[in-house]
Structure formats: structure tokens, C-alpha cells
Structure 1
Amino acid sequence: MHRKKWVALVIVLAVFLLGLLVEGIYGTYTDLVDHPGFAWEENVVSGYGNSKIVQLFVNGTISGQQNSAGVPSMTELLTEQLRRIEEDELVKALVLRIDSPGGEVVATDELHRRLLRLKQVRNLPIVVSMGSTAASGGYYLATTGDAIFANPNTLTGSLGVIFNLFNYSEAANKLGVHQYAIKSGRFKDIGSPSRPLTDPERHIFQTLVNESYNNFVDVIVKGRNLSRQRVLEIADGRVYSGEQAKRMGLIDEFGDLEEATRYALSLSGEKEAMVIRYADQLSISKLLFSMKQYWSNPDPLGLNRIWDRQSSPRLLYQFMP
């Protein structure tokens, strides 16, 4: 057992030193993205020929934030992949596989606009394939599809906006902790967790939420060709199964990723095409940076991440039970 511990320690030390070596040669991970050695390689899933159908994956929470190791955000990576699709004349269709509860309003809207640009510039058909969850911002992106496939048990819906504020004022008062804000204007410390939220402040935040909500409704109206009144009836924040969503016109067909891909091929006008996925060629370097970050993590319990989410409120198109 003693020997095993030493072997594990040597491995950890080796990974740490390799991470430092790579960082010393190439810089941070953000620098690696711009390095000539960093490139997306195309993995052929099936099919043959010169034409391509790209399967693009939206997995997890939609965010525009890099992590603490400097790894690019989901929106940065997906935007880069969409740019490559736009520039590749051999790509004839896109299959967007969504397994996400949604995420940040701005990050979601940026990806949505990028997908619409792809349709406008290249006139590429987009077929959406929903995974286990495609809710809120995940559905926001799905509205760009010419067709939406889902499983009858897919969790979707949650059409709306949420804005969470963390407040510890009562606990602070009990502990005798006080925070004094010297401010230039009445609302400069709006949403402060150290005091109760006032009615005027609540109204301001509600106005922001309403604006984002109306934008969400507009996206569904245009993307799904539904009346605004109908969308307002179903966009009350509740979640729907795939079965329910189909009855409401929120999705088109039941089917998996393969069936969605076959439909994309039919929309492309091509008889045959290679189905490809993108993968970056520096996955080993990414692993080194991630492990280096893990072993040098000053917050192993993740408390700082929890605190950061609460102390930096954001408008969210996100399903949050």
C-alpha cells in the first residue's frame, strides 16, 4: 500500500510538471486555441462521399464564461465550430444535438444569432435532435431548426426567464454583521445581499426579466410559426415531456439522433454524405491543464463556485428545479 501511494504521488507530480511545461511553451489554454497546432479534426461517424453533414453537440449549461484554468467557454467553442461550418462549402446540413437545461441569456442569444446567421449566409438546413433535456435556453436554440426531433420522454419546455438573488441580511443581523454602502445613486447597490430588496428594486429586476421573456416568446413565435397568444399560454415556465410538446407544436417528430441525421440528409438534397463530428487535437493538453487545475485547486469543495453564482446574479434561460 505504501508503494502504491508513492506511485500515485509520482504520477500526480509528473502531470503537474507536464502541465507547467506545456504552459511554458505555449502559454495559457487561451493561447493554445490560437496556436497553429490547435485545430478541429473531423471524425467521420458514418456515410461516404464529398458532402458533409455535421453533428454539433450542445451539452450541459450554456455559458459564456471560461473556467478558472482558462479553458474556453461553451459559446466560444461552439461559435468556432459554427464558423468552420459556415466556411466549409462541403457542409450541406447541420444536426444540432441538444442535451441542456439552458443557461445564461446572453450566451444563449449569441449562439441563437450565430445559428440564424448560418442559415442566412449558407442557407443550410438545421435539424434539431433533443436528448434527455432540452429545456429553456436549450429550447431557445432548438427554435432555429427546420425540424425538431425528440424522444417522448425528453424533458423540454421551461419557457421563460429566471433571475436569482442571494440574500443573507437576516442571518447577518443576528450575527451583528453590517455592511455599509457609500453610493453615488439610489440604485447603485441594487440587489445587495446584505439588505432586503425594496419594491422599486424588485420592479426594476422584473422589467429586465420581462424584456428577456418577451424576446424568448418572439423567438418561439418566429421559429415555430405559432401565434403569440398560443405561446404566451404555454410559456409559463412549466416543463413538458416530449409527448406533451408534440401535441403543442413545440416539436415535430419522435426520433433519435440517427433519425434526425437521416432527415437532415433528405433536406440537404444530397443522396449520400459523410456524417462528421468535430474534435480538437489538443485533448491531451487540455487534460494536463485540467488536472493541473484540479490538483492545485484551493477550493476542493467548490464553495467559491457556489458563492460566485450567488454573488454574480445573471438573467437565465434555464430550467432550475
Structure 2
Amino acid sequence: MNSDDSLPPPIRDPLPEPAAPKAPAGYEHLLAQFAHDYLRDRRSERRWKLFFRLLWLALIVFAAWAFWAQSHHIASPSTPHTALVEVHGEIDADTEASAELMLSALKSAFEDPGAQAIVLRINSPGGSPVQAGIVYDEIRRLKAKHGKKVYAVVEEMCASGAYYIAAAADEIYVDKASIVGSIGVLMDGFGFTGLMDKLGVERRLLTAGENKGMLDPFTPLQPKQRAYAQQMLDQIHQQFIATVREGRGKRLKETPEMFSGLFWNGEQAVALGLADHFGNLDFVAREVVKAEDVIDYTPRENVAERLAKRFGAAIGEGAVKALRSLAPLR
């Protein structure tokens, strides 16, 4: 038996545990700073969300108030006054001088028992014959219904469709230098066919109906189509002339140029019977209507409406989102 077999195995020290990696110097400070900045950004984000939600809510409340105030801006019954309705700028469906806005103002003015008469203060180059015709017809209807006088006061210009409206007034007042008239109708556009030929550009227009592409600027105007358009313009012109004759009656001193589209200054207009007298709004209110207090019935575009036009559908979309998100923040 070998003596070495009776000896116990040698005792060895256990291997040391691997040391945990040490954090780089300042690591704890960076982590704390990151957490602090993150929480700060989250709080700032929440505050901004709350701010914009409250802003949208305030805008909605303001728009509702402005709409209410505009529709109730005149108390009725009111004291005796001259009712003013402005006809300013281009007469068209999407302008401040649209038939929709003017009819609303005219109706309010005629229905107010305090309004002694209505004054149309006009400064317009004209516009749509349809819009002007609607206003003309409504003025005559309201005059017959309420028995109130209507006076037109021209400032800088009363031309074309604006004069169409003025013809409905009982009397027309002008300044000596006002521009009055332009009793005519036009249809304008451009033709690019010669330029296209020079550039070698071909117009490929497909239509169902031989006149469907009529007045297309890239297609030559056919004599038959030109004659048709001219006939239509002549017919509208005759409607305009009939309206002026109906409104002005025997006061007109017709000349061959009167309905040619020419315009005149105020002094000439009075001589031709296109206008009656010289005077401004204050003069008419004080000396003719005998009610110096003037109340403006013209609808005014408020701040909310201007914002809506500028930003379009984004305003409505943002408002809806704001209303949906008015729940408490988490």
C-alpha cells in the first residue's frame, strides 16, 4: 500500500468572485439629470396641451358670442334713426357685398320701427348681374311692403352692377366727382391657341356635346359659339336697361351713349338723370330723412370669421379635436 494514498487531498483556496464592473465616474449624476429633464419636458408638454385646449375652447366661445352679438346688435324697437346699408367692393356671392348679406341687412333695416328710411352708401365697381338683380328685386319688394323710402348715396364709384342696385332707390345722391354709369355687360377671358401653336403644344379636349368646350381658352372660338355668347350678353344687357328705365322713369334723359357702357362723373350723371342731387350720407340723414342718428345695419366680418377663412377647415378640425380631448390629463 502506498503511503500517499492515506493522505487527504490538499486544501485549495476557492477562486475569487469576479468583481462587478464599476460605473463610470458621474454616471449616477447623468442618470438623475436625464430623469429630471425628462419629467420637466413631460410637465411642459402637458402644460402646452392644456393651454391649446383652453385656447380652442376660448375661440369657440368667442365665435359663438360674436355670432350672437352680430345677430342681435340692434335693439328693437329703437329711437328714430337713418338706417345705413353699405354696398362696398365687388358684388359677388363670396364678398361682403353679396346678395345674401345685403338682403339680411335690408330686411333688418326695413323691419325696425325706428328706421325712418334706408340709405345705401355705395362704393363699388359692380359685379355679378345675378347678385345685383336679387338685391334690386328685394329692395322693391320691401319698399312696397313697409312703405319706407330708400336713398342711394354714391361715394367714389357706382358702376355696372352697383348702379343696377342704385336704380331701385327713390333718389340717388352723388358727389360732383363720383363715377356713375357703365350700364353694360361683359364676358372676358384669354385665348392661348397661337402661343400653343408656336410652342408645339397640342390641346386634347374630349367632350360629349359639340358646345361643351365652348370658351375654353386653349381651343379656337368658333363663330357659332361667339354669336351665341354675344346673343346671351345682349339679352342680359337689355334686362339691365329695362331695370334702369323702370327705376329712374321719366327722370332719364336718354342719349345714344347712355347704355353703351360709358360712365360719367357725378355732375354729368345729374344732368343725364342718372342721379338726382348732390349730397353725402350726413346730408341725406339730416336734411332729407330728418333723422341725424345713423345706425349701420351692414353685417361685419368678425375676428372668428376672418380666422376661419384664413385657416379654412383646419379651424373646425382643431376645434373638434379640442372638444374631444377636454377629458382630464393623465
Shared fold per TM-score greater than 0.5 = yes
Question: Does 2:86 match 1:51?
Answer: no
Structure 1 counterpart of 2:304, one-letter code: S
Question: Does 2:73 match 1:41?
Answer: yes
Structure 1 counterpart of 2:233, one-letter code: V
Question: Does 2:241 match 1:206?
Answer: no
- Which of 182, 196, 207 is equivalent to 1:172? 196
- Which secondary structure does the structure 2 equivalent of 1:190 belong to? coil
Return the structure number with greater relative CO, CA threshold 8 A, min gap 6: 1
Q: Which residue of 2 aligns with 1:283?
A: 302
TM-score calculated relative to the size of structure 2: 0.69
Q: Which residue of 1 aligns with 2:56?
A: 21
Structure 2 counterpart of 1:244, one-letter code: Q
- Which secondary structure does the structure 2 equivalent of 1:208 belong to? helix
Structure 2 counterparts to residues 135-284 of structure 1, below 5 A: 135-226=159-250, 230=254, 233-266=257-290, 272=291, 274-278=293-297, 283-284=302-303
Q: Which residue of 2 aligns with 1:60?
A: 89
Structure 2 CA distance for partners of 1:22 and 1:278, relative to 1, 3 Å: farther
Q: Which region of structure 1 is more displaced relative to structure 2, 33-42 or 158-167?
A: 33-42
Query: Once the 2 structures are TM-superposed, how far is the Cα of residue 291 of structure 1 from its aligned partner?
Result: 5.0
Query: Once the 2 structures are TM-superposed, how far is the Cα of residue 65 of structure 1 from its aligned partner?
Result: 2.5
TM-score calculated relative to the size of structure 1: 0.71
Partners of 1:22 and 1:285 within 8 A in 2: no
For structure 2, list consecutive stretches of 5 or more residues without a partner in the other structure: 1-51, 316-330
Query: Once the 2 structures are TM-superposed, how far is the Cα of residue 90 of structure 1 from its aligned partner?
Result: 2.6
Query: Once the 2 structures are TM-superposed, how far is the Cα of residue 92 of structure 1 from its aligned partner?
Result: 2.2
Partners of 1:167 and 1:193 within 8 A in 2: yes
Structure 2 CA distance for partners of 1:281 and 1:33, relative to 1, 3 Å: farther
Question: Does 2:142 match 1:114?
Answer: no
Partners of 2:101 and 2:299 within 8 A in 1: no
Query: Once the 2 structures are TM-superposed, how far is the Cα of residue 214 of structure 1 from its aligned partner?
Result: 0.5
Q: Which residue of 2 aligns with 1:123?
A: 147
- Which secondary structure does the structure 1 equivalent of 2:191 belong to? coil
Q: How many residues align?
A: 260
Partners of 2:126 and 2:158 within 8 A in 1: yes
Structure 2 counterpart of 1:288, one-letter code: L
Distance between the aligned counterparts of 2:186 and 2:118, measured in 1?
A: 30
Distance between the aligned counterparts of 2:132 and 2:212, measured in 1?
A: 27
Distance between the aligned counterparts of 1:228 and 1:147, measured in 2?
A: 12
Structure (1 or 2) with the greater strand fraction:
1
Distance between the aligned counterparts of 1:60 and 1:244, measured in 2?
A: 23
Distance between the aligned counterparts of 1:219 and 1:282, measured in 2?
A: 31
Query: Once the 2 structures are TM-superposed, how far is the Cα of residue 162 of structure 1 from its aligned partner?
Result: 0.6
Distance between the aligned counterparts of 2:70 and 2:146, measured in 1?
A: 26
Distance between the aligned counterparts of 2:132 and 2:65, measured in 1?
A: 22
CA RMSD of superposed structures (Å)? 3.3
Structure 2 CA distance for partners of 1:42 and 1:232, relative to 1, 3 Å: farther
Structure 2 counterpart of 1:41, one-letter code: H
- Which secondary structure does the structure 1 equivalent of 2:85 belong to? strand
Distance between the aligned counterparts of 1:228 and 1:255, measured in 2?
A: 19
- Kindly, what percent of the aligned residue pairs are identical? 26
Distance between the aligned counterparts of 1:225 and 1:144, measured in 2?
A: 11
